[in-house]
Amino acid sequence: MSYKHITSFQRNELSALIRAGIKQNRIAKLLKKSPSAISQELSRNKTNNKINYDARLAKGELGKEE
């Protein structure tokens, strides 16, 4: 079995699907990832916002000096 990271595009989709109230198992099917990969992604990139996930944080875009 080969392992592939969640792409930037998939992180954006994940964020939108979470905001839309879609369950993690359904998101996993839509993104063609395992439910555990989705759960780990959400846990790894928790925030204090309403949905508890921010794709920009996951992609390392927050907190950078410009």
Nearest to 31 by CA among 59, 57, 4: 4
* Average pLDDT value for residue range 44-50: 73
Residues 48, 20, 38, 58, CA torsion sign: negative
pLDDT score for 40:
92
| Angle, CA 46 vertex, CA 42 and CA 51 arms, to 5° | 80
pLDDT score for 33:
94
| Cβ atoms of 54 and 47 closer than 8 Å | yes
Question: What's the pTM value of the predicted model, to 2 decimals?
Answer: 0.72
* Average pLDDT value for residue range 5-27: 92
